[in-house]
Amino acid sequence: MIAIKPSEPVFLSVRGLRYHCRCWGAADRPRLFLLHGWMDVSASFQFLVDALEGDWRVIAPDWRGYGLTEHGRSDCYWFPDYLADLDALLAHFEPDRPATLVGHSMGGNVACLYAGARPERVGALVNLEGFGLAGSDPVRAPERLAKWLHELARVHSFRDYASFADLAARLQANNPRLSAERAAFLAHHWGVTREDGAGVRLRADPAHKIVNPVPYRLAEAEACWRSVRAPVLWVEGAESDTPRRLGLAGADLAARRACFARVTLRVLPAAGHMVHHDQPEALARAIEDFLRA
């Protein structure tokens, strides 16, 4: 059986939305903020939290449109909103000192951009597989805008599942390293019983599927990364296929890491993109060693 550290739900108003944060540990302990990725939820960090040895107050929000946080009030999602939400969350939970941020994938990208935009607000940064995106060709801007307009006119949905066991099986199919017990735990947090009782739906707004109309400008992201003053732990899974899917070669990753003035690279063996699921114990040791140093 998995040893589960208990968490408590905390709800607060963030920029007009009812935001949910999953919190572990006593409120007076040093704070550690965990930021999940696209199509994920705060409970995804449970295994990492269970493996932490230190006495932390861990705070993990569900981003807008995920988990128990309200959906956005518009017809699509804009990436800068995540930075503004994070700024508001830190103003609430950590107003008087630089924060320690751990972000996975999209959450890592949010944390890295935020740490460059507000360097005085971040004391330490752990980036888990947050590589940024492939740079966009400006020539394709009209095509991208047209696609966005087309998608706004469509009705979007995610696949439903017959049961939580069905969803857990899908999670294991996507990640063979995931044990049945951990997959069942995640399924009950990533999914919720449908209102009509006929199956399980995902805790995510389908509007997240709509393409971002603004092309990814790598030079702008790199400018933010170069403005980061905090020490950075850059963590990659040795068996992650994310760089390949993004079209990033080893030299591309090295150039992106080099944008950070104070960066330490850790590559975790026997881990894919979901490093916090695949090797939570090794990841916890790496994070706490980095923070102690």
Give dist(CA 108, CA 113) in Å, integer.
9
Is the pTM higher than 0.95? yes
Q: Which residues pair with 33 in a beta bridge?
A: 59, 101
Q: Which residues pair with 35 in a beta bridge?
A: 103
Beta carbons within 10 angstroms of residue 197's beta carbon? 6
Count of CB atoms within 10 A of residue 173's CB? Answer: 10
7-158+217-292 carries CATH number 4.10.520.10? no
Q: What is the pLDDT of residues 71-119, one digit of tens each?
A: 998 899 999 999 999 999 999 999 999 999 999 999 999 999 999 999 9
Q: Which residues of 97-119 are buried (b: 16+ CB within 10 A; e: fewer)?
A: ebbbbbbbbbbbbbbbbbbbbbe
Domain ranges of the chain: 7-158+217-292, 160-203
Is residue 1 predicted with pLDDT exceeding 60? no
Mean pLDDT across the stretch 159-164?
97
